[in-house]
A and B are shown apart, each in its own frame.
Chain A
Amino acid sequence: MSEVPENLKYTSDHEWCRLEDDGSVTVGITDHAQQALGELVYVELPEVGAEFAAGDACAVVESVKAASDVYAPLGGEVVEVNEQLEGEPELVNSSPYDEGWLLRLTPADPAAMDELLDPENYEQVLAEASD
């Protein structure tokens, strides 16, 4: 079973979002997603300052057998990326919700956070997928 922390929002594409005190939103991929991909060997991150609409491919996570786009859960401007992943992509495997975060963005519309999945709904998505 994969871990689904209570304090986060989710997408059905297996990204998570965390609202920070300064109004920015941190984005990563879920424990389920990192398990499905296997050991990551590379993470391609956007440049700081890049702007994305919700649903745009904003990063790529790559294992030896798969490569997956990460879609922006909400529109906005990238204000920080996790540079540690350049040398240590395995952090996404070992700590998907903490040290393995991907990027932080300033949402164009902060209310868009409310549209994302609650932990219960995301667990529902996972349950349906495993049927």
Chain B
Amino acid sequence: MPYIPHTPEDTARMLAAIGLDSIDELFDEIPPALRAEGFAGVPAGIDEAAAARLMQSRAAQDGRSLCFVGAGAYDHYIPAAVWDLAARGEFYSAYTPYQAEASQGTLQLIYEYQSMMCALTGMEVSNASLYDGATAFAEACLMAVRANRRAGRRRILVSRALSPVYRRVAETIVAGQDIELVELPLRDGRLDPDALPADAAGQYAALALQQPSYLGTLEDVDRLSDWAAAQGLLLIAVCNPLSLAVLKPPGEWGEAGADIACGEGQPLGIPLSSGGPYFGYIVSRERLVRQMPGRIVGRTVDVDGRPGFTLTLQAREQHIRRSKATSNICTNQGLMVTAATIYMSLLGAEGLQRTAAACHANTARLAARLAALDGVRIAFEPFFHEVVLQLDRPAAAVLAGLAERGIAAGVDLGDSYPELGPAILSCATEQRSDADIEVYAAALAEVLDSSEVA
């Protein structure tokens, strides 16, 4: 039987020991009216070779296009050692490290991960990860409201240049708790400093912005950080962790730095994988640590005085605090954090910096090459490693034409940013060669010249 080791003799011996004649009797406490005999609609089992053939044929249909899409997930090279190590059974098939003595590998790795995220962001404390970037942002909003609970402030100012899907997910998650996200308008693809409310003090719990923004632009983070501090608002920074090898870390923004930083961990060695699993990171100032959601690992000593690692501050969590917990989250994205920690160790600060800089340089080359075509212009500069390209005709048709030519050219911004007119968001990571960029440019020229899109 697949994955079940029992021989017929084993089964008979075990039933006899219990004093039963059949396996059916094990279910005699289920009322007869509720008993099911298998289920319709599920095919018969197949063997491993057949499963391999099936999945190979399915996988062969996918992921063939040349990728110039970013928008929150990025096509980076992942060194072979990352997943060779992360997929080891001792990491892959362990669970949350409740029994610390039997889980030092996972615990020490998470402590190293927390240390690396603090180093990258310039913050003091990190948790062991959340589900993804969008939920990390939602949890950051909840954290900011909890930190303000005595003052009762439940509204958060959010830049319109912060990922639209992050804002939607956060709204889904905070909806039940009467928390309001108030959108701040943009000018030139960046938060409009003149639109910051003069009376923010006392009204809002936090200001949230993304750097680089969803549109690839760079905010004046020092000035915005100082403004938030002057108004008594917490500052939530959403940052691509890879970009922080090049850009100023949120802990150093302005005089005081951000209070909470979070984002999508996928750029750190996690495959695109059709959308997940990824992981969300969240880091903060030490004074906010008790408002932090999720698992946290601390270093301590054992009874013999030897250093060791354990889950700590668990009284924040649902298994102890129940309805008063900081979040309902139980797990982290442990396996993804394992990969990310190995990835950061392999690349080091210099490797991350070179990768991030190469992404910026490639996107700059892509943007310049495409903007040389008639009907294409770069919307905003400077940008980090994504660029908004405004078109002189409907974006959806242009993207469809490029898709037919085997190019995933970017994201149509029409639904989220209609004020930009026809526009797409494109990205060239370090994996895109000059030849790839030429393929994109030639295909775009062809699509624009053709009668497909008018």
Alpha-carbon separation in the docked complex, A47 to B150 (Å): 9
Residues of B with C-beta under 8 A to A63: 315
- Is B150 in contact with A67, judged by CB distance below 8 angstroms? no
Residues of B with C-beta under 8 A to A64: 312, 314-315
Residues of A with C-beta under 8 A to B324: 67, 69
Residues of A with C-beta under 8 A to B290: 42, 44
Asked whether A62 is an interface residue with its Cβ less than 8 Å from the other chain, the reply is yes
Alpha-carbon separation in the docked complex, A42 to B289 (Å): 12
Alpha-carbon separation in the docked complex, A65 to B317 (Å): 11
Alpha-carbon separation in the docked complex, A62 to B315 (Å): 7
Interface string of A47-88 (1 = CB under 8 A from B): 100100000000000111111010000000000000000000
Q: Which of B150, B290, B315, B316 has the most CB of A within 10 A?
A: B315
- Is B150 in contact with A50, judged by CB distance below 8 angstroms? yes
- Is B315 in contact with A66, judged by CB distance below 8 angstroms? yes
Asked whether B320 is an interface residue with its Cβ less than 8 Å from the other chain, the reply is yes
- Least CB distance from A71 to B in Å reads 13
How many chain B residues sit at the interface, stated as a range, is: under 10
Residues of B with C-beta under 8 A to A66: 315, 320
Residues of A with C-beta under 8 A to B315: 41-42, 62-67
- Least CB distance from A87 to B in Å reads 14
Name the residue of chain A whose CB is nearest to the CB of B311: A64
Alpha-carbon separation in the docked complex, A63 to B316 (Å): 11
Asked whether B223 is an interface residue with its Cβ less than 8 Å from the other chain, the reply is no
Asked whether B321 is an interface residue with its Cβ less than 8 Å from the other chain, the reply is yes
Residues of B with C-beta under 8 A to A46: 150
How many chain A residues sit at the interface, stated as a range, is: 10 to 19
Name the residue of chain A whose CB is nearest to the CB of B151: A47
Alpha-carbon separation in the docked complex, A42 to B320 (Å): 15
Alpha-carbon separation in the docked complex, A44 to B315 (Å): 12
Residues of A with C-beta under 8 A to B321: 67
Residues of A with C-beta under 8 A to B150: 46-47, 50
- Least CB distance from A122 to B in Å reads 26
Alpha-carbon separation in the docked complex, A67 to B322 (Å): 10
Alpha-carbon separation in the docked complex, A63 to B240 (Å): 36
- Least CB distance from A74 to B in Å reads 21
Alpha-carbon separation in the docked complex, A41 to B298 (Å): 14
- Least CB distance from B328 to A in Å reads 16
Interface string of B285-323 (1 = CB under 8 A from A): 000001000000000000000000000101110001100
Q: Which of A42, A46, A64, A65 has the most CB of B within 10 A?
A: A64
Residues of A with C-beta under 8 A to B316: 67
Residues of B with C-beta under 8 A to A62: 315
Residues of B132-170 at the interface with A, using a CB-CB cut-off of 8 Å, are 150
Residues of B with C-beta under 8 A to A44: 290
Name the residue of chain A whose CB is nearest to the CB of B314: A64
Alpha-carbon separation in the docked complex, A64 to B316 (Å): 10
Residues of B with C-beta under 8 A to A50: 150
Q: Which of A41, A67, A69 contacts B320 (CB 8 A)?
A: A67
- Least CB distance from B395 to A in Å reads 52
Name the residue of chain B whose CB is nearest to the CB of A62: B315
Alpha-carbon separation in the docked complex, A46 to B150 (Å): 9
Alpha-carbon separation in the docked complex, A7 to B238 (Å): 55
Residues of B with C-beta under 8 A to A47: 150
- Least CB distance from B390 to A in Å reads 52
Alpha-carbon separation in the docked complex, A52 to B314 (Å): 27
Residues of B314-343 at the interface with A, using a CB-CB cut-off of 8 Å, are 314-316, 320-321, 324
Name the residue of chain B whose CB is nearest to the CB of A65: B320
Residues of B with C-beta under 8 A to A41: 315
Alpha-carbon separation in the docked complex, A42 to B314 (Å): 12
Alpha-carbon separation in the docked complex, A50 to B320 (Å): 27
Residues of B with C-beta under 8 A to A65: 314-315, 320
Alpha-carbon separation in the docked complex, A65 to B315 (Å): 7
Residues of B with C-beta under 8 A to A67: 315-316, 320-321, 324
Interface string of A35-47 (1 = CB under 8 A from B): 0000001101011
- Least CB distance from B417 to A in Å reads 43
Alpha-carbon separation in the docked complex, A69 to B324 (Å): 10
Name the residue of chain B whose CB is nearest to the CB of A69: B324
Alpha-carbon separation in the docked complex, A77 to B314 (Å): 31
Alpha-carbon separation in the docked complex, A38 to B150 (Å): 28
Lowest 3 CB-CB distances: which A-B pairs, in order?
A: A67-B315, A62-B315, A67-B321
15 example contacts (A-B, Cβ-Cβ < 8 A) are as follows: A41-B315, A42-B290, A44-B290, A50-B150, A64-B315, A65-B314, A65-B315, A65-B320, A66-B315, A66-B320, A67-B315, A67-B316, A67-B320, A67-B321, A69-B324
List 15 additional A-B contacts (Cβ < 8 Å) besides A64-B314, A65-B315, A67-B316: A41-B315, A42-B290, A42-B315, A44-B290, A46-B150, A62-B315, A64-B312, A64-B315, A65-B314, A65-B320, A66-B315, A67-B315, A67-B320, A67-B324, A69-B324
